[in-house]
Amino acid sequence: MKKSALSMIALILAAPVQAAPPEGVATEATRAANARVAAALPIADQTDFENARRGFLAIIPGDKILNEDGSVAWDSHQFDFIDGAAPDTVNPSLWRQAKLNSIHGLFEVVPGIYQIRGYDLAQMTLIAGKTGWIIVDPLTTPAPAKAGLALANKTLGDRPVVAVIFTHSHGDHFGGVAGVASPEDISSGKIQVIAPHGFLAESIGESVIAGTAMNRRVQFQFGTALPVGTTGHVGGGLGQKLSSGDVSLVPPTRSISKNGETLTVDGIAFDFMDAGETEAPAELVFYLPQYKALHTAEVATRTFHNVLTPRGALVRDTLKWSKVIDAMLANYGDKSDLMLASHHWPTWGSDKVQAALKNQRGIYRYVHDQTMRQANQGATMHEIAEHIGEPDFAKTDFGVRDYYGTLNHNSKAVYQRYFGWWDAVPAHYHQLPPVQAAKKYVEAMGGTDKALAVGEKAFAAGDYRWAATVFNHLVFADPANQTAKTWLASTYEQLGFQAEAGTWRNIYLVGARELREGNNVKDSISTASAKVLNGIPAVDLFDALATRFNPAKMKGEGGIIRFWFPDRKEAVSIDLGKSVMFPRREDYAITGAGSDTQITISRSAFTQLLMRETSPMQLIRDKQMIISGNDALMAIMFMALDEVNPQFDIVTP
Please tell me what DSSP assigns to residue 179. Answer: G
Is residue 73 within 8 A of residue 143, CB to CB? The reply is: yes
Instruction: Assess contact for 572 and 542: CB atoms under 8 A.
Output: yes
Tabulate helix, strand, coil % of the chain (nearest 5): 40, 15, 40
Burial class (CB in 10 A: 0-12, 13-18, 19+), 411: buried
Pairing of strands 338-340, 293-295: parallel
Single-letter amino acid, residue 610 = L
- In this predicted structure, what is the pLDDT of residue 7? 46
pLDDT of amino acid 329: 98
**pLDDT tens-digit readout, 536-553:** 889 989 998 999 999 999
Q: Can you tell me the distance from the alpha carbon of 644 to that of 653, in angstroms, rounded to the nearest whole number?
A: 18
Pairing of strands 338-340, 570-576: unpaired
CA dihedral (604, 610, 614, 620) in degrees, to 10, reads 70
User: How long, in residues, is the chain?
Assistant: 653
Q: How far is the C-alpha of 367 from the C-alpha of 381, rounded, in Å?
A: 13
517's CB contacts (< 8 A; 6+ apart) are: none
Q: Which tens digits make up the pLDDT trace of 411-468?
A: 999 999 999 999 999 999 999 999 999 999 999 999 999 999 999 999 999 999 999 9
Residue 278 has what DSSP assignment? S
* Residues 6+ away with beta carbon under 8 Å from 575: 558, 560, 581, 582, 583, 584
Query: How high is the pLDDT of residue 205?
Result: 65
- A 10 A CB-CB count for 344 gives 27
- Name the nearest CA neighbour of 638 among 539, 527, 534, 546: 546
Q: 118 in helix, strand or coil?
A: coil
Question: Which residue numbers in the chain have pLDDT < 50?
Answer: 1-17
For residue 70, the model assigns a pLDDT of: 96
Collapse the DSSP code of 394 into the 3-class scheme (helix H, G, I; strand E, B; otherwise coil) and give the result. Answer: helix
Nearest to 340 by CA among 323, 322, 352, 331: 352
Phi, psi of 544, deg, nearest 5: -65, -40
DSSP 207: I
Task: For 31-67, give one letter per residue: b (16+ CB within 10 A) or e.
Answer: eebbeebbeebeeeeeebeebbeebeeeebeeeebeb
**Residue 10 has what pLDDT?**
45
Q: Report the alpha-carbon distance of residue 45 to residue 162 in Å, rounded.
A: 40
Asked whether 236 and 87 are in contact (CB, 8 A), the reply is no
Give the count of beta carbons closer than 10 Å to the beta carbon of residue 179: 26
Residue type, 204: I
Which pLDDT does position 19 carry in this prediction? Answer: 66
pLDDT of the residue at 399: 98
In sequence order, what are the residues at sequence separation of 6 or more whose Cβ sits closer than 8 angstroms to the Cβ of residue 479?
485, 652, 653
Q: What is the dihedral of CA 585, 586, 589, 592, to 10 degrees?
A: -130
Residues facing residue 599 across a β-bridge: 563, 627
For each of the domains in the chain, give its residue range(s) and CATH number, in order of start.
45-350 (3.60.15.30), 538-639 (3.30.1050.10)
pLDDT value of residue 589: 56
Please, is 568 exposed, middle or buried when counting C-beta atoms within 10 Å of its C-beta (0-12, 13-18, 19+)? middle
The SS3 assignment for 463 reads: coil
Give φ, ψ of 14 to 5 degrees: -90, 5
pLDDT value, residue 587: 76
Task: Specify the 3-state DSSP secondary structure of 15.
Answer: coil
Interatomic CA distance for residues 485 and 471, integer angstroms: 7
Cite the beta strand spans of 141-282 per DSSP E.
161-165, 192-196, 254-256, 261-265, 268-274
CA distance 456 to 464: 10
pLDDT value at position 1?
44
Strand pairing category for 105-110 and 72-75: unpaired
Nearest-angstrom CA–CA distance, 310 and 319: 20
Distance CA 239, CA 119 (A): 9
pLDDT of residue 526: 54
